[in-house]
Amino acid sequence: MNRVFVTGMGVVSPIGLGSEAFETSLRQGKSGVALLTNFDASRHAVKIAAEVKNFDPSMAIPKKDVRRHDRYSQFSMVAAKEAIEEAKLSVDQFDPHRIGVIVATGIGGIHSYETEYEVMAKSGPNRVSPFLVPMMICNIASGYITMAYGFKGPSFSVVSACASGLHAIGESFLKLSFGLVDVMVCGGTESAVTSLTVAGFSQMKALSTRNNEPERASRPFDRDRDGFVMGEGAGIFVLETEESMQRRGVKPLAEIVGYGASADAHHLTAPDPEGEGARFAMGQALSMNKVPLERVDYVNAHGTSTPIGDPAECNAIKKTFGLHASKLVVNSTKSMIGHLLGAAGAVGVAATIRQMRGGFVHPTVNLENPGEGCDLDFVPQKAREQRISYGMVNSFGFGGQNASILVKNI
């Protein structure tokens, strides 16, 4: 099997545009959660979210074409541009059929769906945009990247709820490992902070209602957590084989060394409380390159801030790592950026790589009193200077879909 390296990375997040700004905010423990501005939330029980601020899609999309993109694909184009530029990647360096794209999303173009449905209800079907369907479908983010850069390899989307972004990276890793391609542009993107989706998650009782303290609402592993906070953003990567990287003379940011995926087969939305599916995914990621579990020193947890999900993940981590679990450093990036749904895992990988390269571990903010069963080292409140050798990134989605990626420092 080929070794697989990360050579470029791009981030759009509620706490920073670009991976450097993202890292700075991670170090500071900055929260991106605030009162909603994307729509009038006065009639909603939930009035908070982690929105991307000051976003300019024309950074990567010609101004005349911006209106043809839903916000979720705008995010992916901007993040992809950063990743491709950092990797110094050009289609001229390859057979274009050897460069593929897998960009995941959990929900897709929901902004366009809601907007154009209102147009039809008000003005009739003849006023609906002819771009509605391509703006709405989940694969269009991958498609736009291929068209912008001339990549002609495998191109599609992965849709597995909140595990989508990690599945996209994992499936890209497998294609590279088996020599099916030389380069993959991959990751996750999501912009689903809309009136309808917030209402839907709220009716499920999945969201925090701490409207009077937005920055304190996302509190993974804390006793007083009351649900997750919706977020939006994108994390896109350039992955390539060792041979490709060396031929081009580019330097790696990190190495992907393991990927695991599983299903809970348990419940529509709740995880297996014992964390068996998550444990299996983490075990697969460890065994792929036979990495001893004692060499893993960090876990970027799924850690959504839900009463059921957080202890289930703790159970999974403890079952996977045994006595070594007490020596792990664990944190939740969602404590600052909320839950980015289909982009969550990809942005978790970005956070892991930035921490590896920066020699620190970001805090799990708002963790004041650990909840029952949440007894790992979660780095509460304040960042810690520490070297990470191997980091595990977890993502778990509705439908019981689990993914884990193992990243090695270089």
Instruction: Spell out the residues 6+ positions from residue 258 whose beta carbon is closer than 8 angstroms to its own.
Output: 284, 285, 286, 287, 288, 289, 291, 404, 405, 406
Token pair recorded at residue 253: 């940011």
Closest CA to 253 of 111, 65, 403, 86: 86
- Length reported for the chain: 410
Residue 305: count other Cβ atoms within 10 Å of its Cβ: 29
Q: How far apart are CA 257 and CA 291, in angstroms?
A: 8
Closest CA to 315 of 392, 376, 384: 376
Looking only at the bridges linking them, the beta strands covering 34-35 and 384-385 are unpaired
Phi and psi (nearest 5°) for 24? Answer: -55, -45
Token pair recorded at residue 171: 């499936």
Helices in 105-213 by DSSP H: which ranges?
A: 110-123, 132-136, 140-149, 164-177, 195-203
Write the CA distances from 254 to 164, 240, 349, 354, 390, integer angstroms.
21, 11, 10, 10, 10
Write the CA distances from 346 to 76, 112, 134, 164, 388, integer angstroms.
11, 23, 23, 8, 18
Closest CA to 171 of 95, 260, 108, 84: 260
Q: Could you list the active site residues?
A: 162, 302, 339
